Structure 1
């Protein structure tokens, strides 16, 4: 993929690597959001197109580095990944909690994330080096008395992406800049 360096790509870009899900998995995640939403005192739902699992957050980056970021993505394993979602959790923040969907430890995701981090370090790319906690953000700025019980379910990962986080008409949007779809090969 060639990244055109146009006016849209001359300022620093907020970048991250993400794992996305197949439609059936997204349907289940959205149904879980529906069941939680009625219990919230407040909160902002993650819209369906933005549901993902962050593998590494790079933050503000120079768009001239996009070809390098794509090369890093291309070196990641592209095998299918089955997921087992098992629980809900939250990160407490000043304006309200982040409510997230957690999963059973997955060696495939862990391996991809470790390969990614090593490759980023080897290339001198700065990134958020916080401990990896595989989760899907469901709500931000949320207040809820108690999280409901979650019946575990299985899902499938669809693709690995290099994502651009930006505002489109004042709406948070995650735009894939490069993608590697996971296949059976």
Structure 2
């Protein structure tokens, strides 16, 4: 079994801005630079043969580069926040791409995603951080924006089975240009 998800990788400039936020919240488990991403579709634990089908399905998804804007801060969990995130400005190209990922995974035989797509970059896992401290952090760092960047491709990642994810390993990038960047 392998745990998989697809995501957009974050530009170095946007990641640098996100990393500057990572202080001043006692007890937060900050996400490391290589693990910052915008999830498109979480597949979960799948068998190796299904992983091969997933790769084939992802290869067929048409992709046109588009601009990504990261702005705003928030949390998941409400009265018991467990995740701190930076928002991703919704756009039609992002919505279409995520929808194509969902459709492709259903064709492969995966169950539909039950949660609404909320584009974001997780910047910290909160565990036992006090609720008031989380909201104070969000207020103190708002408004927030990172430099916009162009998403040139999307990536299939694997993750170790653990609480909080990472480290994440890029398994393949799409479209596959047949070369790797430094």
TM class by smaller structure: 0.7 to 0.9
Indicate conservation of the 8 Å contact 2:3/2:161, yes or no.
no
Which runs of 5 or more residues in structure 2 are unaligned? 178-182
Matched position secondary structure for 2:69: strand
Report 1:1-185 matches (<5 A): 12-31=1-20, 33-34=21-22, 37-38=23-24, 40-92=25-77, 96-126=81-111, 128-141=113-126, 143=129, 144-146=134-136, 147=138, 148-153=141-146, 154-166=148-160, 172-180=166-174
Root-mean-square deviation (Å):
2.5
| Equivalent in the alignment of 1:7 | none
Which runs of 5 or more residues in structure 1 are unaligned? 1-11
Deviation at 1:96, TM superposition (A): 4.7
Provide the rounded CA distance (Å) in 1 between the counterparts of 2:63 and 2:159. 23
Provide the rounded CA distance (Å) in 1 between the counterparts of 2:26 and 2:18. 20
Provide the rounded CA distance (Å) in 2 between the counterparts of 1:94 and 1:74. 41
- The 1:123–1:51 alpha-carbon spacing in structure 2 relative to 1, beyond 3 Å, is same
Deviation at 1:136, TM superposition (A): 0.5
Provide the rounded CA distance (Å) in 2 between the counterparts of 1:88 and 1:115. 27
Q: What is the aligned length?
A: 166
- Comparing 121-130 with 65-74, greater Cα deviation is found at 121-130
- The 1:51–1:94 alpha-carbon spacing in structure 2 relative to 1, beyond 3 Å, is same
Matched position secondary structure for 2:65: coil
